[in-house]
Amino acid sequence: ALSLSCLLGTPFRIVNIRKKRALPRGRAGLMPQHLTAVRALKEMCEARVAGDNDGSMDLTFEPGRVRAGEYRFNVGTAGSTSLLLQAILPALLMENSPSSITLMGGTHVIYSPTFHYISEVFLPALSALGLHARASIERYGFYPRGGGKVILEVTPSSVVRPLNSYSCNISNIRGISGVGNLPLTIAERQKDAARHILREEGYAAEIDSVSVPAFGPGTFIFLAAQTDLLRAGFSALGERGKRAEIVGAEAARALIGHLKTGACLDEHLADQIVIYLAMAQGESSFTTSCISLHLLTNLWVIKRFLDIRYRIDGTPGSPGAVTISSRARVL
């Protein structure tokens, strides 16, 4: 909603934010990482905002004109830089001038795309649509200390191409297993576990083991399958008491589960790309390994801002296909 509001100059109000998160041991309303997104977009488009405070369950956002340029935003601790990146990117892609954004916070944290998913899956998918941005990482940020640093370079775009992706042939599987401020042997164990499970299913993979600069300790593994047009990617993160072999196995099994469906888009790319397909000139269609609630919710929200048609073939939680077309010109 924030992205579309800035992109289209359309105000909105949202209520009961994260209401059900107030259930046992949860907390409803806006969390710090959500507030950073609100305030970042407020700064970028000189918006008038009410309700941008910690724990707020009611937000009103009235955007002004988006300004491209250089920005620096700190999510704080291990709040996700990837979620912030995805919130600010749509409007900047449609500006007339390039932008450079420095993002500080978590780069490899739970419940959000890792930096590698953004750089190796999400941004290449946008490139296939004619939208160009590049992300680089200077420092990694793991839970709970965060402190990561990502640079996003955005190039203005003049057209969004539709996507038609139904059949996918796998050309290779590559990955990276990394540690920050921990022995490299942990990354090696993650890699070996992932390769073993992939090999048992008939998949060969090239996985690099690396030691990365980080503010605090942490581990991760990321695997990506290259297909005809796009990539599918899956990550797993280490944590205290979690064996490296479990981390490697998690990512491998998630990738295998996706590949066995024969679908082109992994479930996360499916929900992340529909906002851009809603701006494309022409009809887009794709298969995905899972019709997720995120995907259905995003389409519902987009339709409140744009005159789109969409069709879902499949049931929530199962593989399926999506067709989407827009009757409103955005660019």
Q: Copy the structure tokens of residue 20.
A: 């059900």
- Is the domain of 191 the same as that of 321? no
Domain count, the chain: 3
Q: Copy the structure tokens of residue 261.
A: 């469906």
CATH code at 208? Answer: 3.30.360.20
Answer whether 243's CB lies under 8 Å from 172's CB.
no
Q: Label residue 21 by pLDDT band (50, 70, 90).
A: confident
Hey, which residues does 136 pair with through a beta bridge?
151
Taking residues 81-108, report their average pLDDT. 96
Q: What is the pLDDT of residue 202?
A: 96
Of 131, 162, 193, the last residue of a domain is: 162
Query: Cα(159)–Cα(157) distance, rounded to whole angstroms?
Result: 6
Query: Cα(231)–Cα(175) distance, rounded to whole angstroms?
Result: 12
**Residue 111 CB-half CA count within 13 A:** 5
Inform me whether the pLDDT recorded for 331 exceeds 60: no
Answer whether 90's CB lies under 8 Å from 55's CB.
no
Of 108, 128, 162, the last residue of a domain is: 162
Of 104, 138, 162, the last residue of a domain is: 162
**How many other C-beta atoms lie within 10 A of the C-beta of residue 249?**
18
Axis crossing angle, helix 267-277 with helix 293-305, rounded to the nearest 10 = 10
Burial of 174 (0-12, 13-18, 19+ CB in 10 A): middle
- Is the domain of 181 the same as that of 302? no
> Which carries the bigger pLDDT value, residue 115 or residue 326?
115
The mean pLDDT value of the chain amounts to 95
**How many other C-beta atoms lie within 10 A of the C-beta of residue 316?**
12
Domain of residue 269: give its range.
263-331
Q: Copy the structure tokens of residue 190.
A: 């993650």
**How many other C-beta atoms lie within 10 A of the C-beta of residue 136?**
11
User: Which residues are catalytically annotated?
Assistant: 294
- Is the domain of 247 the same as that of 206? yes
**Residue 237 CB-half CA count within 13 A:** 21
Phi/psi for 253 (5° steps) reads: -70, -35
- Is the domain of 16 the same as that of 145? yes
Residue-wise pLDDT for 285-311, tens only, equals 999 999 999 999 999 999 999 999 999
- Is the domain of 248 the same as that of 125? no
Global pTM? 0.96
- Is the domain of 27 the same as that of 145? yes
- Is the domain of 57 the same as that of 158? yes
Q: Label residue 329 by pLDDT band (50, 70, 90).
A: low
Q: Enumerate residues 6+ apart whose C-beta is below 8 A from 260.
A: none
